[in-house]
């Protein structure tokens, strides 16, 4: 049985210039992703059921629509897998015209094993969480092509340009960066601050 671990928190940088410094001082060490304006919902597939958790409450108070849950169940994802995900829908309903979907950006458990001790996206490590997540997602796309499930890409350079682009995208809040070799805090009692991550937001 998988043990729930609260999602890691992103330390917040003060300005977008922090992204430029990060890329300039440590080129190639970090990757970036958009910070989406959704609800953080880790998804656990265990013991024949799907559990949705929250960043602030162990059991999420607001649950995804039953139709969305049924679509997720129809993919036949095996037990022992858990994703860190963003549920897009509740706060973006007007923009999305009622559409709900999940964005996947990290792999928490794989084949029943906690993955937080593995690096995030180290090209030299086949157990990197993002690359395993990408393989799982591409397999699901090949078999089912799910429109309600998306994989968040990683960007390897041009973090400042990405931040400026985010300002034109109404469903994003900014940019997050992650150390390629960074691991998860994986706290079972509350959200720990992950020192290998950084968040830069333009939306307050």
Model pLDDT for residues 110-131, shown as the tens digit of each residue: 999 999 999 999 999 999 999 9
Q: What is the pTM of this model?
A: 0.94
Rounded to the nearest 10°, the torsion over CA 149, 187, 182, 175 is: 50
Q: In the predicted model, is pLDDT for residue 203 greater than 70?
A: yes
Residue 15's pLDDT band, with cuts at 50, 70 and 90, is: confident
- Tokens coding 27: 């080129």
DSSP H or E segment with residue 172? strand 172-179
Burial of 94 (0-12, 13-18, 19+ CB in 10 A): exposed
Residue 182's pLDDT band, with cuts at 50, 70 and 90, is: very high
Percent of the chain at pLDDT exceeding 90: 77
- d(CA 51, CA 30) in angstroms, rounded, equals 31
| Backbone torsions φ then ψ of 201, nearest 5 degrees | -110, 140
Average pLDDT of the chain is 92
Mean pLDDT on 23-48:
94
Angle at 114 between CA 42 and CA 134, to 5 degrees: 65
Q: List helix spans (H) across the chain.
A: 17-25, 66-73, 93-96, 129-144, 159-166
Q: In the predicted model, is pLDDT for residue 183 greater than 80?
A: yes
Partner residues linked to 81 by β-bridges: 45
Lowest-confidence pick of 88-97, 145-154, 176-185: 88-97
- Tokens coding 131: 């690359």
User: Domains plus CATH for the chain?
Assistant: 17-201 (3.30.470.30)
**Given phi > 0 = left and psi -120 to 50 = alpha, else beta, which region is 79?**
beta
């Amino acid at each position: 049985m998988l043990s729930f671990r609260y999602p890691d928190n992103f330390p917040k940088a003060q300005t977008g210039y922090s992204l430029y410094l990060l890329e300039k001082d440590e080129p190639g060490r970090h990757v970036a992703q958009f910070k989406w304006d959704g609800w953080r919902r880790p998804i656990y597939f265990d013991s024949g059921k799907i559990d949705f958790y929250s960043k602030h409450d162990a059991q999420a108070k607001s649950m995804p629509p039953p139709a969305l849950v049924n679509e997720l169940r129809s993919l036949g994802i095996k037990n022992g897998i858990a994703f860190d995900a963003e549920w897009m829908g509740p706060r973006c309903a007007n923009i999305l015209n009622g559409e709900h979907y999940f964005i996947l950006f990290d792999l928490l458990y794989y084949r029943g094993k906690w993955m937080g001790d593995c690096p995030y996206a180290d090209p030299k490590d086949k157990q990197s969480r993002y690359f395993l997540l990408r393989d799982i997602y591409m397999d699901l796309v090949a078999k089912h092509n799910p429109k309600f499930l998306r994989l968040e890409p990683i960007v390897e350079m041009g973090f400042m340009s990405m931040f400026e682009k985010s300002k034109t995208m109404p469903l994003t809040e900014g940019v997050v960066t992650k150390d390629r070799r960074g691991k998860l805090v994986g706290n079972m009692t509350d959200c720990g601050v992950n020192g290998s991550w950084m968040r830069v937001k333009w939306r307050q």
